C-alpha cells in the first residue's frame, strides 16, 4: 500500500518523539511491503517563530494532501508565561482542528501488565482497565460565539453552542465503536443544568434504537469524574462534549501510570490525525530523555484507524509491550533500572519489528 504521511513535530519534545515514531513506521513499511513517504510541516511556537502564524497555510495544504497526520506537541514557555501574547501556539492547534474538520477525538485508556503497579490507583481498581473516550472536538465552548470581555474588562464570557448534527456524527462513532467492543456506551453530560447537555441526551436517546445491541447509560459529568477513580472498569465507550472531554480524558490518562504512554486520534470526514496526549515538556527538549511510546502507539492507531491495517497496528502494540516487559524504557518509568534514551527506544522497537 502507498501511504503519504504528514509530520507535524511541533514544539518541545515533539521532534524527538516523532523521530522515533518515524523509525517504527518505516520498519513496519519494510516488513509489510508498504511504500511510505513523509512530508514535514510547521505548527505551534516553531511556526510562529518562522512565519508569525501558528498554523500556516502551507502546513494546512500538507495535511489536506496526506493520507494521515502524525503530530507531536504544541507549547513553549515564552508564550505560556506571556498572558498578553496576541498569537499563541495553542491557537494553531484549535485552528488546525477546525480547518481540517477533526470533530472526534479518540482517547483510549488502558493498562500495561508490566506497569500496572505504577498507577496511582489500587491494583484491583485498574488491572484490566480498557476504555475509550470519544470527545467532540470542534464545537462547544472553545469555539462558540460571542466570547470576550466587556469594555471595562470586569466581565468575561464564553458561549457554549452545539447543533444536533455535531452531536449525531460524534455519537455514531461512539455507538459503532461500542458494537466492536463490550457493547456499552456512556453519554456524559450535565443535562440537569445545561441546555446543550439536554440536547446531547435527547439526541443520543433518539439514536439508541438504531443500535439495539448496545446498552446506553447516561451520567452527569461530575459523577463520571468520581467513578473514573473509584471504578474505571465500569466504563467501555464514553461520548461527551468538548470541554467535559478535555478534562475527563486527562483525568483518565493517569490511570495507566504515565501520560507518556497514552496515544490518541483526532478524526474528520477526510483527514485523520494521530498524536500522544502529553504536552511539549520543554524542560526535556533536546535531552534525548522523553518517553516516545505514546507517539509510537499513536502510530499504531494510525495504521488501524487511517488504513484499516490491524496486523500492522497490533505488531506495534506488541513490541511496545515487549519493551516495557524487558525494561527498555526511558527514565520516567525506569524504576531504578537502566534508563534508555529516547532514540535508543526507537532503535530497539524498529529492530524488534524487523527481527
State pLDDT tens for residues 308-338.
999 999 999 999 999 999 999 999 888 878 9
DSSP characters over 235-297: -SEEEE-HHHHHHHHHHHHGGGS-GGG-EEEEE-SS-EEEEESS---GGGTTTT-S--HHHHH
318-326 long-range contacts, Cβ below 8 Å, gap at least 24? 319/349, 319/352, 319/353, 320/293, 320/296, 320/349, 321/112, 321/113, 321/114, 322/352, 323/293, 323/348, 323/349, 323/352, 324/112, 324/114, 324/115, 324/293, 325/113, 325/114
Among 80, 99, 142, 341, the one annotated catalytic: 142
Contacts of 91 (CB under 8 A, 6+ apart): 54, 55
The percent of residues above 90 in pLDDT, for the chain, comes to: 86
Per-chain mean pLDDT for the chain: 95
Q: For 128-180, what is each residue's pLDDT tens digit?
A: 999 999 999 999 999 999 999 999 999 999 999 999 999 999 999 999 999 99
The verdict on whether 318 is a catalytic residue reads: no
Q: What is the distance between the alpha carbons of residues 208 and 27, in angstroms, rounded to a whole number?
A: 42
The verdict on whether 341 is a catalytic residue reads: no
pTM beyond 0.75: the answer is: yes
Confidence (pLDDT) at 81: 76
Which of the residues in the chain have pLDDT under 70?
A: none
Among 222, 270, 287, 314, the one annotated catalytic: 222
Among 55, 190, 236, 272, the one annotated catalytic: 190
Confidence (pLDDT) at 258: 75
Answer yes or no: are the C-beta atoms of 328 and 345 closer than 8 Å: yes
Among 30, 57, 233, 250, the one annotated catalytic: 250
The verdict on whether 332 is a catalytic residue reads: no
Q: What is the distance between the alpha carbons of residues 4 and 68, in angstroms, rounded to a whole number?
A: 7
Confidence (pLDDT) at 263: 95
Confidence (pLDDT) at 115: 85
Q: Residue 339: phi, psi to the nearest 5?
A: -100, 120
Among 158, 246, 288, 347, the one annotated catalytic: 246
Q: What is the distance between the alpha carbons of residues 185 and 187, in angstroms, rounded to a whole number?
A: 7
Answer yes or no: are the C-beta atoms of 204 and 171 closer than 8 Å: yes
Q: Which domains does the chain have, with CATH numbers?
A: 1-108+258-355 (3.40.718.10), 116-257 (3.40.718.10)
The verdict on whether 40 is a catalytic residue reads: no
Answer yes or no: are the C-beta atoms of 298 and 264 closer than 8 Å: yes
Q: Residue 131: phi, psi to the nearest 5?
A: -130, 165
The verdict on whether 222 is a catalytic residue reads: yes
Amino acid at each position: 500500500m502507498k501511504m503519504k504521511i504528514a509530520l507535524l513535530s511541533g514544539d518541545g519534545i515533539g521532534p524527538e518523539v516523532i523521530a522515533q515514531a518515524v523509525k517504527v513506521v518505516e520498519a513496519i513499511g519494510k516488513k509489510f511491503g508498504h511504500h511510505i513517504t513523509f512530508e514535514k510541516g510547521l505548527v505551534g511556537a516553531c511556526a510562529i517563530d518562522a512565519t508569525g502564524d501558528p498554523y500556516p497555510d502551507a502546513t494546512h495544504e500538507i495535511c489536506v494532501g496526506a493520507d494521515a497526520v502524525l503530530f507531536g506537541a504544541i507549547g513553549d514557555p515564552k508564550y505560556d508565561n506571556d498572558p498578553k501574547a496576541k498569537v499563541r501556539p495553542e491557537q494553531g492547534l484549535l485552528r488546525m482542528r477546525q480547518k481540517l474538520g477533526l470533530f472526534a477525538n479518540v482517547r483510549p485508556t488502558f493498562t500495561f501488565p508490566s506497569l500496572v503497579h505504577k498507577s496511582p490507583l489500587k491494583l484491583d481498581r485498574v488491572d484490566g482497565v480498557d476504555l475509550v473516550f470519544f470527545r467532540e472536538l470542534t464545537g462547544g465552548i472553545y469555539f462558540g460565539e460571542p466570547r470576550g470581555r466587556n469594555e471595562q474588562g470586569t466581565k468575561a464570557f464564553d458561549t457554549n453552542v452545539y447543533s444536533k448534527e455535531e452531536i449525531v456524527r460524534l455519537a455514531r462513532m461512539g455507538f459503532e465503536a461500542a458494537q466492536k467492543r463490550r457493547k456499552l456506551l456512556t453519554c456524559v453530560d450535565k443535562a440537569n443544568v445545561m441546555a446543550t447537555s439536554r440536547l446531547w441526551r435527547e439526541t443520543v436517546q433518539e439514536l439508541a434504537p438504531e443500535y439495539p445491541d448496545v446498552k446506553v447509560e447516561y451520567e452527569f459529568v461530575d459523577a463520571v469524574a468520581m467513578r473514573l477513580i473509584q471504578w474505571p472498569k465500569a466504563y467501555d465507550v464514553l461520548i461527551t462534549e468538548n470541554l467535559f472531554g478535555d478534562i475527563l480524558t486527562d483525568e483518565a490518562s493517569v490511570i495507566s501510570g504515565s501520560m507518556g504512554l497514552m496515544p490518541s486520534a483526532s478524526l474528520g470526514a477526510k483527514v485523520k490525525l494521530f498524536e500522544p496526549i502529553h504536552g511539549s515538556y520543554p524542560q526535556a527538549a533536546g535531552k534525548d530523555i522523553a518517553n516516545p511510546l505514546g507517539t509510537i502507539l499513536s502510530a499504531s492507531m494510525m495504521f488501524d484507524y487511517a488504513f484499516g491495517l490491524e496486523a500492522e497496528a497490533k505488531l506495534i502494540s506488541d513490541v511496545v509491550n515487549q519493551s516495557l516487559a524487558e525494561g527498555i524504557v526511558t527514565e520516567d518509568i525506569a524504576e531504578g533500572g537502566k534508563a534508555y534514551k529516547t532514540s535508543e527506544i526507537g532503535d530497539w522497537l524498529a529492530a524488534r519489528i524487523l527481527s
